[in-house]
């Protein structure tokens, strides 16, 4: 039984491996072990970066970062997301995301309609997200 609750944030595929099987492969295969340990290190670094970002940046800046990270992972600028879901991912109230998304839209960085956010100006959104997104992107690229 895992203490974790996994949520797929965007449409895609996922795989489930029983923990015992994963441990067996981890123990027997140095290549798999190296990749998993690198993934865990990057995940811990991402968690620390997220904590710092949440402490230092506004909801608008954090929204920009999260949208860029999601777009990078799906390989496109159209994200099927509701404000309610984005609020849950950012740990803020929906009204905070509504204000942040409204400001990003007024600035011409995104286009939002019910259930769909489109990144219109990636460079501008990256500036809004400060250095946090660049650090995240480089970390994921190193991992992959």
Reported as a single tens digit per residue, the pLDDT across 84-122 is 999 998 989 999 999 999 999 999 999 999 889 999 999
In the structure encoding, which two tokens stand for residue 110, read together? 């995104």
Q: With bands split at pLDDT 50, 70 and 90, how would you rate the model's confidence at 2?
A: low
Reported as a single tens digit per residue, the pLDDT across 56-94 is 899 999 999 999 989 988 889 999 998 899 999 898 999
Residue 52: per-residue pLDDT: 84
Residue 136: per-residue pLDDT: 79
Average pLDDT over residues 12-29: 90
pLDDT at 31 over 90: yes
pTM of the model: 0.79
What is the fold, at CATH topology level, of the domain defined by 19-143?
Arc Repressor Mutant, subunit A (1.10.10)
């Amino acid at each position: 039984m895992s203490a974790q609750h996994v949520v797929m944030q965007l449409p895609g595929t996922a795989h489930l491996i029983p923990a015992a099987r994963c441990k067996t492969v981890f123990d027997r295969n140095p290549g798999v072990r190296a990749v998993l340990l690198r993934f865990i290190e990057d995940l811990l670094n991402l968690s620390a970066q997220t904590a710092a970002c949440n402490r230092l940046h506004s909801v608008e800046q954090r929204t920009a970062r999260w949208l860029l990270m999601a777009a990078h992972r799906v390989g496109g600028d159209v994200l099927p997301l509701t404000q309610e879901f984005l609020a849950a991912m950012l740990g803020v109230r929906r009204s905070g995301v509504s204000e942040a998304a409204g400001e990003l839209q007024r600035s011409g960085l995104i286009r939002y309609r019910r259930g769909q956010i489109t990144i219109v100006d990636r460079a501008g959104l990256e500036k809004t997200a400060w250095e946090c997104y660049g650090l995240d992107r480089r970390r994921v690229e190193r991992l992959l």
